[in-house]
Amino acid sequence: MAYKRTELTPEQIDGQLAVCAGIRARNKQSGKAPLAMVDTYGCQQNEADSERIRGYLAEMGYGFTDDETKADLVVINTCAIREHAEMRVLGNVGQLTHTKAKNPDQIIAVCGCMVQQEHMAEKLKKSYPIVDIVFGPHELWRFPELLLEQMTRKKRVFAVDDAPGTVYEGIPHARDSKVKAWLSIMYGCNNFCSYCVVPYVRGRERSRRPEEIIAEARQLVAEGYKEITLLGQNVNSYGKDLDEPMDFADLLRAINDIPGEFLIRFMTSHPKDATEKLFRTMAECEKCAHQLHLPVQSGNDRVLKAMNRHYDRAKYLEEVALARRYMPDLVLTTDIIVGFPGETPEEFEDTLSLVEQVRYDSMFTFIFSPRKGTPAAVMPDPYSRQEKQVWFDRLLDAANRISAEKHKEYEGKRLRVLVDGLSDGKGGNLSARTGGGRLVHLTGDPALIGQFVDVTITGSNTWALYGEL
């Protein structure tokens, strides 16, 4: 599958920024400070996309609100990974009928992965007349132009053409946190796991150039960010499409070489492409968190093959052992799908036994959800939802028990953590993360937010650690 990467030119993004300036002038003329609400569903890539949308909106002079009744513009950034995510989005778009009835000038935009599916774009067109603008991930870079078109022509705008995708630079970000930053290193996915809609909605894998990524990382460090999370659907295939190919481990080392006190995290790694070089680099780079999200999806070889994952249980277990040899303190997390079409009770037991063997620090578990257009959606699926739910509950029980046991091992230890925000949970007013990414609640001066501090772990449960300064 030869895909020629296309990069947008700086002029194309500058053109959008000029449109932002035009909208800013328009908003100013209207005499009131306009407010926007951006509502985000789904994964970290979507969080990062929403920061770009907010970056554009800030250029247009919008302030931000979480209250849809006060918003002049509502942007809903959607997810398509499972049916549940789509139902939530549609429910919330439906709710906006009431706010729009009270404020007919309100503009409603729906974007992201869900709308990149033709049947969903059609559904919005036909059944949700309150929606004014619809655009997929490929069109995000020209959101200002789409908004201006809607504002001037007062017509509904749909921009959801299918495309392999582009690489772009220079869209401003309005970041959510002052401590932690997302940094997209690549877009799209080439893997076509048989259950997954991502390659269809986000297009082919394409990498940003290393010099752009390193410049952005330097800038983040200069602005005082203490944690940078590199994002891609499969970071281990970073750089394969570049004129001068570069691998992910080399990129990691280059970012590690940037002077300053900060942590590097990344996600997601596909087990088929994880290498010893990556684990060695992680171990050698002092700023790289000893944290690996390595989705296994299933512990059974037949199911893994049907999922088109390109590894088997033995290879996965070898990889985990190798990663732990390089980093004995590695925090390992995973994703698992229960009830893939045709998965038998015995095959599910293989997943459970893998989980007991690996002992993940935490797990994200899902019941299979058929996605239109994917091969798995048309595979025979003889087991009922109720049967799958029983398996799922067993898996969740195991995951929770193991997380609690692993957290218990931290008690009494002294750790360096990054204080990253205020906490509303019991056990303290501040939240922090360990090097491996475990959540710690503690009590202290909010001025510590953004600092690395030493804490003693005094308690724990399945979800978090409790610490004292």
Using Cβ positions, the residue closest to ligand 5AD within the complex turns out to be 335
Q: Pick from 121, 124, 196, 220: which binds ligand 5AD (CB under 6 A)?
A: 196
Q: Which one of ligand 5AD, ligand SF4, none interacts with residue 189, CB within 5 to 8 A by kind?
A: ligand SF4
Contacts (CB under 6 A) with ligand SF4, residues 220-239: 233-234
For 437: left if phi > 0, alpha if psi spans -120 to 50, otherwise beta; the answer is: left
Burial of 141 (0-12, 13-18, 19+ CB in 10 A): buried
Minimal distance, residue 334 CB to ligand 5AD, in Å:
8
Minimal distance, residue 205 CB to ligand SF4, in Å:
9
Residue 176 Cα distances to 55, 77, 243, 413, angstroms:
11, 15, 33, 31
Minimal distance, residue 231 CB to ligand 5AD, in Å:
13
Residue nearer to ligand 5AD on the CB measure, 9 or 389: 389
Minimal distance, residue 423 CB to ligand 5AD, in Å:
26
Minimal distance, residue 229 CB to ligand 5AD, in Å:
15
Minimal distance, residue 62 CB to ligand 5AD, in Å:
31
Taking CB under 6 A as the rule, does residue 196 contact ligand SF4?
Answer: yes
Q: Is 170 helix (H, G, I), strand (E, B) or coil?
A: coil
Backbone angles phi, psi at 375, to 5 degrees: -60, -40
Residue nearer to ligand 5AD on the CB measure, 195 or 248: 195
With the C-alpha atoms ordered 404, 430, 48, 373, is the resulting torsion angle positive or negative? positive
Q: Which one of ligand 5AD, ligand SF4, none interacts with residue 55, CB within 5 to 8 A by kind?
A: none
Q: Is 433 helix (H, G, I), strand (E, B) or coil?
A: strand
Taking CB under 6 A as the rule, does residue 85 contact ligand SF4?
Answer: no
Element (H, E) at 61: none
Residue nearer to ligand 5AD on the CB measure, 281 or 298: 298
Q: Pick from 199, 370, 421, 450: which binds ligand SF4 (CB under 6 A)?
A: 199
Q: Which one of ligand SF4, ligand 5AD, none interacts with residue 270, CB within 5 to 8 A by kind?
A: ligand SF4
Sketch the per residue contact string, 27 through 66, with ligand 5AD: x for CB under 6 A, - otherwise: ----------------------------------------
Q: In whole angstroms, what is the distance from residue 103 CA to residue 110 CA? A: 18
Q: Which one of ligand SF4, ligand 5AD, none interacts with residue 82, CB within 5 to 8 A by kind?
A: ligand 5AD
Taking CB under 6 A as the rule, does residue 335 contact ligand 5AD?
Answer: yes
CA 132 from centroid of its chain's CA atoms: 26
Taking CB under 6 A as the rule, does residue 192 contact ligand 5AD?
Answer: no
Site size for ligand 5AD (CB under 6 A): 12
Q: Of the ranges 100-108, 187-195, 362-370, 457-465, which one interacts with ligand SF4 (CB under 6 A)?
A: 187-195
Residue 337 Cα distances to 115, 207, 389, angstroms:
24, 28, 12
Strand order in the sheet with 63-64: 63-64, 35-40, 73-78, 107-112, 133-135, 157-159
Q: In whole angstroms, what is the distance from residue 332 CA to residue 290 CA? A: 9
Taking CB under 6 A as the rule, does residue 296 contact ligand SF4?
Answer: no
Q: Pick from 120, 189, 255, 449: which binds ligand SF4 (CB under 6 A)?
A: 189
Q: Which one of ligand SF4, ligand 5AD, none interacts with residue 128, CB within 5 to 8 A by kind?
A: none
Q: Pick from 204, 270, 287, 406: which binds ligand SF4 (CB under 6 A)?
A: 270
Taking CB under 6 A as the rule, does residue 295 contact ligand 5AD?
Answer: yes
Minimal distance, residue 56 CB to ligand SF4, in Å:
26
Sketch the per residue contact string, 242 through 281, with ligand 5AD: x for CB under 6 A, - otherwise: ----------------------------------------
Q: In whole angstroms, what is the distance from residue 443 CA to residue 373 CA? A: 49
> Are 444 and 388 spatial neighbours (Cβ–Cβ below 8 Å)?
no
Give DSSP secondary structure letters for 243-307: SS---HHHHHHHHHTSSSS-EEEEE---TTT--HHHHHHHHH-TTB-SEEE---B-S-HHHHHHT
Residue 319 Cα distances to 68, 293, 419, angstroms:
47, 12, 31
Q: Pick from 135, 182, 279, 368: which binds ligand 5AD (CB under 6 A)?
A: 368
Q: Is 419 helix (H, G, I), strand (E, B) or coil?
A: strand
Q: Which one of ligand SF4, ligand 5AD, none interacts with residue 192, CB within 5 to 8 A by kind?
A: ligand SF4
Q: Across 56-201, where does the E strand assignment appear?
A: 63-64, 73-78, 107-112, 133-135, 157-159, 180-184, 186-187
Q: In whole angstroms, what is the distance from residue 328 CA to residue 340 CA? A: 33
Q: Taking every pair of C-alpha atoms in the chain, what is the biggest distance, in angstroms?
A: 67
Instruction: Kindly list the residues in this chain that would bind ligand SF4 in the complex (CB under 6 A).
Output: 189, 191-193, 196, 198-199, 233-234, 270
In the complex, the residues that contact ligand 5AD under the rule CB under 6 A are: 81-82, 195-196, 295, 297, 335, 337, 366, 368-369, 371
